[in-house]
Chain A
Amino acid sequence: MSASSVTAATALLAPAAAFVLAALAMFVIDAFGAEETSGLVLAVVSTAGSIAALSISGLLLASGAAAGGVALFGGQLVVDGMSLLFTFVFGSVTALVSVASLDYTRGRPYKTEYYLLILLAATGMSLLASANSLAVVFVALELTSLPSYALVAYLKNNRGSVEGALKYFFVGALSSGIMLYGISLVYASTGSLLLADVAAASGEASATYPGVFGVGILLIIGGLAFKTASVPFHFWAPDVYEGAPAPVAAFLSSASKAAGFVVAFRVLVVGFPIETIAGTLDWVLVFQILAVVTMTVGNFAAATQENVKRMLAYSSIGHAGYALIGLAALTNVGGVGAESTVLGASVLHLLVYGFMNTGAFLFVALAEHWEIGRTFEDYNGLGAEAPIACVAMTVFLFSLAGLPVGGGFVSKYYLFAGAVGAGVWWLALIGAINSALSLFYYSRVVKAMWIESPAEPFAIERYPTALYAALLTAAVVTVVLLPGILVVDGTAFDAAAALF
């Protein structure tokens, strides 16, 4: 590889570089800036970095520069449609969260550190999306997780925030250990950490060391289940999302979850091809069980909540269950292209989810900003007080439920139709029933906002511009994705097909 082609190939990492540069800028601002830098500068730098990341990845996607997948650093990283698409999601979510945090962190200390940690976590996510070797997967996973632990504890005088962070850290450390152990077992049985080499050696490894290899894969799946907040490693999620500052909860439940999924897609589809692994560990069956249990547990638990943020946390577990269909439907019994279609549908769902779920959590951030409480009852009558924000929230909730007001309807349609096309119609049926159930608890918020009357009048004095801007952007994108998904759906299906 000549020097110039190395440069050209490295340019494909520009989205990750944008995050890193913005993070470095935070260090500089912190070192040389005034004692307490204005939040505006920090928010602008952070937003600019994430918008740069999302637009570069969008441009690279559109230009087809990485259509076939470009391997970098001896195959440790790969930039392809999948990684760029997810980096686009991370950039969008980070930009929305950065804008919204301007109002949220107003009057709170350690703003620079806050933005710095968000940008570092986003860097880790964009590396996760490109990770092509188990070693890089682990390092990038830690780069994502460590800033996240600290972010959750940002409100360090708040019991919930600290408790959530501690819980997140313990469960995270445990699952990192489990995953690392799994990686070492896979390395022991295949002799490589590169996903392509693992795949090549997997046939022999299954024959020679079926036990070691199978347990290794199972442990890796456990680590991924933590990151995607899937059952049985979901216990941290409700406490963490509830305790964390709402913009951080938005960031974790949208971007961090998507990062978990992209690495799961790549590791399992590329590293452990089901054709050769099926005899050792039928991970498709594992994911079928995980998908059904995760979506059912998430939705039923969400239906019993009294706290809106906790309800959204459980709903986020439910959505992890839907996205798992992308892996659970790779049964190889469907027609031509059925597998890449359903995997692409899962990617699309995570893309749409990135906007609608971030938006819903940002609305909770707005409510926290107004200090109006956290339960359904506390939202009573908010629609008359803040109609525009409540319209946005209504859009997010109905779109999450799969009603055709936003992209959530199309992506769920893709997922369930894809599952039927791949021959697992029962999975689609369970998903559809869960989806109908979810409407019950989402509409409770809508009912509270618009139909109930407030117990006492609200004392809302200011309408924070930045939070509103982020909220409305997310709402507009969610609605536009209903007809506009045709712009990205081909890309997603191609990106998914390229993995096989």
Chain B
Amino acid sequence: MLIEAIIAACLLSAAVVFVSPDRYAHKLALGLSVPPLALSLYAYAAFEGSGNALLGGEIAYETFTEWLRFGPYAVNYHVGLDGISLPLVVLSTVLTTLALLSAWTPIDERQSEFYGLVLFLEGSLVGVFAALDFVLWFVFWEAVLIPMYLLIGVWGGPRRKYAAIKFFVYTNIASLVMFIGYFGLVFGLGDAISSTGMPEVAQALRAGQLGSLGTSAAAIPADALAMGAFLAMFVGFAVKVPIVPFHTWLPDAHVEAPTPVSVLLAGVLLKMGTYALLRFNFTMLPEQAAILAVPIAAIAVVSIIYGAMLALAQQDLKRVVAYSSVSSMGYVILGLIAYTVYGVGGATFQMIAHGLISGLLFMTVGVFYNATHTRMIGDMSGLAGRMPVTATVFVAGAFAYMGLPLMAGFMAELFVFLGAFGSTVLPAAPVFTAAAMFGIVIVAGYLLWAMQRSLFGPFRLETDYELARAPAHDIVPIVTLLALVIALGVAPDIFFEMIRDATLDVVAFDFGGESP
């Protein structure tokens, strides 16, 4: 009942905040975001699951009742958490509460609607990570789009309408492609399954029960079906992640979105894509993933390098952070395709680490913007002297991004590289790993360069705004996030132990990689 309580708390809060007067909306929303946060932390503290939820592990906080019955397949209301989904639920609730706080300064119109939508988004995100039946999962997956579309479209920057519709259309077409892919598998499995549940489908697929699809006259053989479904789902999720070449919606959406929305977009929404890749493609169809290992790893490396190069070329500080997300998500894909405990576990850990760090950087850029009303690197310099706390946090966050030891980013990248290096699924694994490591150099390059131009040097500001001390509600969320990033870097086992436990079964198959 815990998951239902979290989701219900979010949705009820959303309804209450939506109809509340604008004057109180921000405080009310912050207060009402505490119960879901507290409940998710309790879920973490009292977590007793083990193994992977899809592969017969012990599912925590599980609820299972039949929802719909349709022909041979039941659609169940099935939710539960394992070591992969629980950290992501905690990430969602933590980032939502902090994002709500960071919204106090920039959001000055239609507040009740804004805060209501953010809480609605939180409920849907928790649902995405907790759902264990495909149709239920899809309900939440699509429900995320609606508040995000409106949040970008209403409260965004000058080109917000274009950015919002581009985001909406891209991800919806992707959803359709992925939906068709999954149902191809369901119908291909035929009588081997009795519901659309993800655990049942995953286990049946790994047991090799996929049959052909269609009438005997015109059948799609099982191999082609599995490959087609893998590609359909991969493309569908790649848009969400996003992976080059499906990334073009992301910079538009990020640049136009207001700061708190960027935080949630980069921090949690991108993880929906990588989470889904792990849950569907890499857990359900390992053989197809292994066949496609080289192209997938190549895409990952291209995302890493190309994303970082694009970041290097940007003048807008927010665009720098946005493109760097494309690069960071490349590490996740590389870790997943490695099929080793450290690779897949590291990829999952990177989802959490990147969620916190990118949230931190977006918030800090937002604080600079609140004060200077510009994000152009060329328009400002010497901010470090005028806004010492914010600048310090930004420097620390940037170093976390570059992978400074004792920060979450370092541990995540270390795990991914360790895992990728020892992969036996991926041919020429050391070459891909080395190429990916080169990305770190570019990351360090663009971040240091951007910091040097905007933070240091003589103070100069090209706008007419008075530079004021950032208010406490701007500082609190970034300091909190920095503390979390350091905590995860010092003690990765806060999450890594349960992640590792949940990924063991994913990488355990006949031709699997060795575990270092």
**Contact surface of A with B, Cβ cutoff 8 Å:** 333, 335, 337-338, 341, 345, 383-384, 387-388, 391, 394, 398, 403-405, 409-410, 413-414, 417-418, 420-421, 423, 425, 429, 432-433, 435-436, 439-440, 443, 446-447, 450-452, 482-483, 485-486, 489-490
3 closest A-B pairs (Cβ-Cβ)? Answer: A404-B139, A451-B153, A436-B176
Given A333-B215, A425-B214, A482-B139, also A432-B68 (CB < 8 A): no
A484 to B153, CA, bound (A): 32
Q: Pull 7 A–B residue pairs with CB atoms less than 8 Å apart, ordered by A.
A: A388-B19, A404-B142, A417-B183, A436-B173, A447-B161, A482-B139, A486-B69
Question: Given B71, B150, B153, B215, which contacts A423 in the complex, CB threshold below 8 Å?
Answer: B215
Binds A, one of B164-172, B236-244, B322-330: B164-172
- Collect the chain A residues with CB atoms within 8 Å of residue B61's CB: none
B153 in contact with A439 (CB, 8 Å) = no
**Within 8 Å CB of B161, what residues of A?**
447, 451-452
- A376 → chain B, closest Cβ, in Å? 13
Asked if A447 meets B153 with Cβ closer than 8 Å, knowing A403-B146, A409-B139, A429-B180, the reply is: yes
Main secondary structure of the interface of A (DSSP, over half): helix
A421→B146 contact, CB < 8 A? no
Residues of A within 8 A of B145 (CB): 403
- Which residues on the B side are within 8 Å of A345 (C-beta)? 70
- For A451, A483, A485, the residue with the greatest tally of chain B CB atoms inside 10 Å of its CB is A451
CB of A450 within 8 A of CB of B153, answer yes
Q: Determine the chain B residues whose CB is within 8 A of the CB of A337 once the complex forms.
A: 71
What's the Cα separation between A65 and B173 when bound, in Å? 46
Taking a contact as CB atoms under 8 Å apart, the answer to whether A486 and B176 are in contact is no
**Contact with B70, one of A335, A391, A417, A425 (Cβ below 8 angstroms):** A417
> CB distance A450 to B150 under 8 Å?
yes
In the complex, A335→B160 CA distance in Å?
49
B154 at the interface (CB under 8 A from A): yes
B21, CB-defined interface residue at 8 Å: no
Whole-angstrom CA separation of A370 from B285 in the bound complex:
55
Task: Tell me, rounded to whole Å, the shortest Cβ–Cβ distance linking B123 to chain A.
Answer: 13
Residues on the B chain within 8 Å of A433, using CB: 176
Report B-chain residues with C-beta under 8 Å of the C-beta of A435. 176
Task: List residues of B whose CB falls within 8 A of some A CB.
Answer: 18-19, 66-73, 77, 110, 113, 135, 138-140, 142-143, 145-146, 149-150, 153-154, 160-161, 164-165, 168-169, 172-173, 176, 179-180, 183, 187, 214-215
Q: Which residues of B contact A410 (CB under 8 A)?
A: 68
B71 and A447 within 8 A (CB)? no
Which chain A residue lies CB-closest to B191?
A: A335
- From A418, A443, A489, B69 is in contact (CB under 8 Å) with A489
A333-B215, A409-B139, A485-B68 known; A447-B113 Cβ under 8 A? no
Residues B110 and A384 in contact, CB atoms below 8 Å apart: yes
- Which residue on chain B has the smallest CB distance to residue A416? B183
Q: Which of A391, A421, A446 contacts B71 (CB 8 A)?
A: A421
| B67:A486 contact, CB within 8 angstroms | yes
- The residue that A404 contacts in the complex, of B67, B73, B110, B138, with Cβ under 8 A, is B138
Q: Are B143 and A405 in contact (CB under 8 A)?
A: yes
A residues less than 8 Å from B180 (CB atoms): 429, 432
Tell which of A338, A383, A404 touches B143, judged by Cβ atoms closer than 8 Å.
Answer: A404
- By a CB distance below 8 angstroms, the chain B residues around A394 are 146
Say yes or no: A414-B146 contact (C-beta < 8 A), given A420-B187, A432-B180, A447-B153: no
Complex contact B71–A341 (CB within 8 A): yes
Q: Give every chain A residue within 8 A of B139 (Cβ-Cβ).
A: 404, 409, 482
Residues of the B chain whose Cβ atoms lie less than 8 Å from the Cβ of A443: 149, 165, 168
A280 to B154, alpha carbons, bound, how many Å?
Answer: 58
Q: Contact between B146 and A398 (Cβ–Cβ < 8 Å)?
A: yes
Q: Shortest Cβ distance from A377 into chain B, in angstroms?
A: 13
Chain B residues whose CB sits within 8 angstroms of the CB of A333 once the complex forms: 215
Decide: B172 and A486 in contact? CB cutoff 8 A: no
* Contacting pair A417 B143 (CB below 8 A): no
Q: For residue B179, which residue of chain A has the nearest CB?
A: A432
Question: Once the chains are docked, how many angstroms separate the CA of A345 from the CA of B71?
Answer: 10
Query: Which chain B positions have C-beta within 8 A of A404?
Result: 138-140, 142-143
Q: How far is the CA of A388 from the CA of B116 in the complex (A)?
A: 13
Closest to B150 in A: A450
Q: Apart from A384-B110, A486-B67, list 8 A-B contacts with CB within 8 A.
A: A387-B113, A403-B142, A404-B143, A410-B68, A418-B70, A446-B150, A447-B164, A489-B70
Residues of B within 8 A of A490 (CB): 69
Q: What A residues does B169 contact at CB under 8 A?
A: 440
Q: A421 contacts which chain B residues (CB < 8 A)?
A: 71-72, 187
Q: Which residues of B contact A436 (CB under 8 A)?
A: 172-173, 176
CB-CB nearest in chain A for B109 = A384
- B136 to A: closest C-beta gap in Å: 9
Assembled-state Cα–Cα distance A414/B183 (Å): 12
Task: Give the residues in chain B near A417, CB-CB below 8 Å.
Answer: 70-71, 73, 183
Chain A residues, CB < 8 A from B176: 432-433, 435-436
Cβ–Cβ < 8 Å partners of B146 in chain A:
394, 398, 403, 405
A446 and B150 alpha carbons, distance in the complex (Å): 9
Bound-state Cα–Cα, A452 to B156, Å: 12
The residue in chain A whose Cβ has the minimal distance to the Cβ of B110 is A384
Residue of A nearest to B67 (CB): A486
Chain A residue contacts of B215, Cβ below 8 A: 333, 423
Chain B nearest CB from A265 CB (Å) reads 19
Establish whether residues A451 and B142, one from each chain, have CB atoms under 8 Å apart when the complex forms.
no
Kindly list chain A residues whose C-beta atoms are within 8 Å of the C-beta of B168: 443
From A388, which residue of chain B is reached at the shortest CB distance? B19
Given contacts A341-B71, A489-B69, contact A420 B183 (CB under 8 A): yes
CB-CB under 8 A from A483, the residues of chain B are: 67, 77
A335 and B143 contact, CB distance less than 8 A: no
Pick the contact of B154: A338, A414, A429, A451 (CB < 8 A). A451
Quote the shortest CB–CB distance from B192 to chain A (angstroms).
Answer: 14
Docked Cα-Cα span, A451 to B143, in Å, equals 18
Given A425-B214, A451-B150: A486 in contact with B68 (beta carbons within 8 A): yes
Query: CA of A450 to CA of B168 in the docked complex: distance in angstroms?
Result: 15
The smallest C-beta distance from B216 to any residue of chain A, in angstroms, reads 10
Determine the chain A residues whose CB is within 8 A of the CB of B138 once the complex forms.
404
Of B68, B70, B71, most buried by chain A (CB within 10 Å of CB) is B71
Note all chain A residues with C-beta closer than 8 A to B179.
Answer: 432
Which of these, B18, B67, B69, B154, contacts A450 with CB under 8 Å? B154
Q: Residue on A with the closest CB to B68? A: A486
User: In the docked arrangement, what's the CA distance between A451 and B156, Å?
Assistant: 10
Give, as a whole number of angstroms, the nearest-CB distance from B186 to chain A.
9
Across-interface contacts of A418 in B (CB, < 8 A): 70-71
How far is it, in angstroms, between the C-alpha of A203 and the C-alpha of B150 when the chains are bound? 58
Shortest Cβ distance from A404 into chain B, in angstroms? Answer: 4
Contacts of B66 in A (CB 8 A): 486
Please give the distance in Å from B282's CB to the nearest CB on chain A.
25
In Å, the complex CA distance between A435 and B113 comes to: 28
Residues of B within 8 A of A405 (CB): 143, 146
Contacts of B113 in A (CB 8 A): 383, 387
CB distance from B335 to the nearest CB of A (A): 31
Contacts of A409 in B (CB 8 A): 139, 142
Q: For the complex formed, measure the closest distance between the CB of A424 and the CB atoms of chain B, giving whole angstroms.
A: 10
Residues of B within 8 A of A387 (CB): 18-19, 113
Q: Which residues of B contact A432 (CB under 8 A)?
A: 176, 179-180
- CB pair A451–B72 under 8 Å, yes or no, is no
Cα(A451)–Cα(B160), bound, Å: 9
* A472–chain B nearest beta-carbon distance, Å: 13
Least CB distance from B168 to A in Å reads 6
Q: Please, which residues of chain B bring their CB within 8 A of the CB of A403? A: 142-143, 145-146
Q: Which residue of B is nearest A485, CB measured? A: B68
Q: A343: shortest Cβ distance to chain B, in Å? A: 12
A439 touches B154 (CB 8 A): no
Point out the residues of chain B lying under 8 angstroms from A439, CB to CB: 172
Given A439-B172, A451-B150, A451-B154, A413:B71 Cβ within 8 A: no
